[in-house]
Amino acid sequence: MQQANWHSNSTGKSGVILLVEDHDIYREVVRAALGKYLPEFEMVEADCVAAALPVLRSRQIDVMVVDMTLPDGSAIDLLVQCGYFIQQGVKVIVLSSHSISDMLPVLSRGDVHGYVSKEQGLKKLAETITAVCSTKVPEPSALEELALEKAL
């Protein structure tokens, strides 16, 4: 079932994260962790490509965290369909349990600003969101991050 949810409190938020993840329990865990690590962000959720698109049309989104595999497509399908919003400044982080070698076609895209393996944990996801949303430090491309990881 397509679903989109808004989570916010009454305090002022400095940014909006759209989390596109189809597994309900994992989405709840990510929401709780990001609420702890990034309390300055409001969370908006969708469980598939079709549910994410109306959210992008109706809300000012700063960063999308997109699971690679969704029930009605992939992160790439969503990126293709929301190109206008990315051109308007929405940052994209792909979250996946796929191996890094499987992710190379996605990571080489210019509209992907970061990649976090689910194995790296949610603190790493929060750090990546902070990095891509920062205007002070230029964000490394996904390929630069991959090259750095391989060098280490």
Contact 66, 20 (CB under 8 A): yes
How far apart are alpha carbons 28 and 20 in whole angstroms? 12
- The end-to-end CA distance of the chain, in Å, is 42
> Residues 75-90: pLDDT tens digits?
889 988 888 788 888 9
CATH T-level topology, domain 4-151 = Rossmann fold (3.40.50)
Of the pLDDT bands very low, low, confident and very high (cuts 50, 70, 90), residue 27 is very high
Q: What is the DSSP letter of 118?
A: G
Of the pLDDT bands very low, low, confident and very high (cuts 50, 70, 90), residue 145 is low
Contact 58, 80 (CB under 8 A): no
Residue 147 has pLDDT above 80, yes or no: no
- Model's pTM, two decimal places? 0.78
Contact 95, 118 (CB under 8 A): yes
**Which pLDDT value is given to residue 3?**
52
- The whole-chain average pLDDT of the chain stands at 83
Q: What are phi and psi of 114, to 5 degrees?
A: -170, 160
